[in-house]
Each structure stands twice: as structure tokens, then as C-alpha cells.
Amino acid sequence: MSKKKDKKPEKLQDKGPENTPDTPPDHRQDKKMRKAALLLAVVVLGCAAIIGIYFLNMSPSTPVQGTGTNTVTVYYFYGKECPHCENVRPLVESLQKKYPDVNFQILEIWHDTTNQALANLMNHNLNQQQSLVPEIIVGNVVLMGETEISTRLEGAILEQKRNLTASS
């Protein structure tokens, strides 16, 4: 009988403190939540890595364009609660109507980690050290802030269209 008593405590020790009958159910639930959060983080990082591989394989001088060979893409990165972004939005929307052949990507980055990762990777690819909102990337041109976007966006679009026409 003494052998059984000696072995039983060893088995409880092997199971660990979280699996003992005295462990509250909340502790087990917390452990499951941590595992779920870790799995979600792995999935998000995996997606960011796939996007990153694509953009990091581009040379820094390569303009970031749309999927078509004759398409200029305007990436407009904004924050949902940003008042400067809201001031820029009407300009972006009017240029979107004025240039239907230009691909406009309007991407919120404060609450969307995938869009945020894309913005970070594009800035890295273009050797841009600082990133703020509102931000627009057209080819290899980075425009930041309400004033710069308002004064230079249409010219940057026209310049990229000329570059595409000249290279065709």
C-alpha cells in the first residue's frame, strides 16, 4: 500500500498545477484564450509575411502600380478618427471620378492590421522612415499630410501616367 501512496503524488505533479481538481475553471479558460490569441497572432503575421515578401522583392525604384501593366495605383492610407484624413477624402474622391483609369485603394490603417502592414511594407520598400496619416503613395512618390496631398496629388498622378505611357 505504501507504494501506491508514493506513486499517486508523482502523477499529480506530472499533470501540472493547471490540471489538478483544485484548479478553478477560470484558469483553464484563460489558458484556452491565450492559445487562441497566439494562434490568431500567428495567422496575422503569416499574412503580413506573404504581403511583405511581395513588396520586399520589388526594387526600391520600381513604381508600385496596380495589377495591370498600364495602371497607376493610388494608395490612400487614413485613420478613421483623423480629421486631416477627412479633409483630404473629398479631394481623393473627386480625383477618383476625374481619372477612372487610375486604381484608387482607400485603406484604413488605425483599426486594420493588414492594411497597416501593407502601409509599413510599402514605406519600407520606398525607404520612407516616417509614416503618418493621411498618406498617399503613387508609384514611388510618397505624400504625407493634408497640405502636401492637397497641393501635389494630382501632379503625382499625372507624372505616373506619363511614366507609364513613356515606358510602353
Taking only the tens place, the pLDDT of each residue in 23-40 is 566 777 888 888 888 888
Q: What pLDDT was estimated at residue 5?
A: 53
For residue range 105-146, what is the model confidence (pLDDT) as tens digits?
999 999 999 999 999 999 999 999 888 999 999 999 999 999
pLDDT the model gives residue 49: 65
Q: Where are the domains of the chain?
A: 2-56, 73-167
Separation of alpha carbons 7 and 4, rounded Å: 5
CATH topology assigned to domain 73-167: Glutaredoxin (3.40.30)
Contact 102, 154 (CB under 8 A): no
Q: How confident is the model at residue 100 (pLDDT cuts 50, 70, 90)?
A: very high
